Structure 1
Amino acid sequence: MYIYLNAVFVGLLLLSNVLSVKLFQMGSFVLPAAAIVYVITYLMMDVIGEVYGKKAARKTIQAGFFTQIIAMIFIYIAIQLPPAADFQSQAAFEEIFNGSFRVILASLVSYFVSQNLGVTIFHGLKHRHGRKKLWLRNSLSTMTSQLIDTILFITIAFWGIVPTTVLLGMIVSQYIWKFIVAVMDTPFAYLLVRLARKHEEKNQAELLEAS
């Protein structure tokens, strides 16, 4: 189960870097398209930390960090490759993926700071409460780390691209969105933790039988 949670985490992380290039509007909210994806990575991180521990959560953060660096390198190489004569979309390709390059840089900084902060808060509360009050550590760690993530990411990714008023509006609207999701994802955290623990208990039982 651990490997699948890691795969979902890293996959959504990379996908969010590409989707962040597009901005969409929902009522008065202006959000990067990644807002519908990236928030789920915090849920995955909480589940990994709850079931597999703080060290496993840190390793997942490191895996995501290095994967983003590798993605950034290959995006740069892909942009520099000479386009084929029949390929007429080089300008559009560069426009989209150059944006992704800056977004990945912003993501690296905000991701590393916020995810590590989230793990620290989550496990500080877990040390105090044990297995009880998962809803509290899930909510508090996500809400706090997402605030830092939002400020850093939006500022680095979009400073100079959109007016300052739009920038501030994006920070506020994106954090409100993330705050709502942090409240709503708690039942899913309980469900995934239960499934992961059941899966690990089954694996342990099979190992004991095999020995």
Structure 2
Amino acid sequence: MYIYFSAIFVGLLLLSNILSVKLFEMGSFILPSAAIVYVITYLMTDVIGEVYGKAAARKTVLAGFLTQIIAMIFIYISIQLPPAPDFHAQAEFEQILGGSFRLIFASLASYVISQNLNVSIFHWFKHKHGKKKLWLRNNLATMSSQFIDTVLFITIAFWGIVPTNVLLGMIVSQYIWKCLVALLDTPFAYILVKWTRKKEGNNPDYVIKAS
């Protein structure tokens, strides 16, 4: 199951980069569409770390980082390719997939720091509590790392571009949303961990092999 969880993690990560160009409104919150996808990646690393160990979770985070770099290289190449005469959506193609160097750097920097912080905090609590209190480490690790992710990304991407009050409003609204999702995904963490342990029960070496 480790390979499938890692694939889901990387797939959601790439999808969030594409969806981030669209904003949607929910009540008083204005959020990028990536907000409904990216937060689930933290659930995936928590489940991987809980079942397969800290090393496996870090490998998944590294795989996601390398995949983002590779994807960006090929997206850049595809944008630079001369469009066919019958292709009339080059500008839209660039707008959706291109992004700016500043946004790309903000995304990668916040990703590497926050995802690794999430793994570290999660496993600090796991070392302290063992298999107990999954809900606690799942929520505290996600909420702490998501705060860092939100502050870093929005500050790097938009500092000097939007007024400070708007910048702070973006940070607060996105962080509140991410905390709500973290609370809502707690039952799914229990379900996935229990199900995976049951599936892997016939293989006593699964933690060692994944790590």
Q: What code does the residue aligned with 1:185 have?
A: D
CA distance in 1, matches of 2:104, 2:6: 19
Following superposition, the deviation at residue 52 of structure 1 comes to 0.3
CA distance in 2, matches of 1:160, 1:197: 48
- Pair 1:174-2:174 in alignment: yes
SS of the counterpart of 1:37?
helix
Deviation track 1:28-52 (CA, whole Å, cap 9, x = no partner) reads: 1111110000000000010000000
Following superposition, the deviation at residue 182 of structure 1 comes to 1.0
Distance 1:85 1:163, change over 3 A: farther
Q: Match for residue 15 of structure 1?
A: 15
Following superposition, the deviation at residue 26 of structure 1 comes to 1.2
RMSD over equivalenced CA pairs, Å: 1.7
Distance 1:14 1:102, change over 3 A: farther
- 8 A Cα contact 1:47 1:189, kept in partner: yes
Q: Match for residue 109 of structure 2?
A: 109
CA distance in 1, matches of 2:181, 2:192: 16
| Structure 2 gaps, min length 5 | 206-211
CA distance in 1, matches of 2:141, 2:91: 41
**What pairs with 1:44-193 in structure 2 (closer than 5 Å)?**
44-99=44-99, 102-159=102-159, 162-193=162-193
Q: TM-score, normalised by structure 2?
A: 0.91
The aligned length equals 205
CA distance in 2, matches of 1:111, 1:91: 28
SS of the counterpart of 2:99?
helix
CA distance in 2, matches of 1:186, 1:28: 25
Q: Match for residue 195 of structure 2?
A: 195
Distance 1:100 1:3, change over 3 A: farther
Following superposition, the deviation at residue 129 of structure 1 comes to 0.5
Following superposition, the deviation at residue 80 of structure 1 comes to 0.6
- 8 A Cα contact 1:17 1:100, kept in partner: no
Following superposition, the deviation at residue 162 of structure 1 comes to 4.4
Q: Match for residue 209 of structure 1?
A: none
Following superposition, the deviation at residue 184 of structure 1 comes to 1.2
Q: What code does the residue aligned with 1:5 have?
A: F
CA distance in 2, matches of 1:159, 1:24: 21
Q: What code does the residue aligned with 1:198 have?
A: K
SS of the counterpart of 2:8?
helix
* Overall identity of the aligned pairs, in %: 76
CA distance in 2, matches of 1:167, 1:190: 35
CA distance in 2, matches of 1:163, 1:203: 55
- 8 A Cα contact 1:102 1:157, kept in partner: yes
Distance 1:104 1:200, change over 3 A: farther
CA distance in 1, matches of 2:171, 2:126: 29
Q: TM-score, normalised by structure 1?
A: 0.91
Following superposition, the deviation at residue 163 of structure 1 comes to 4.3
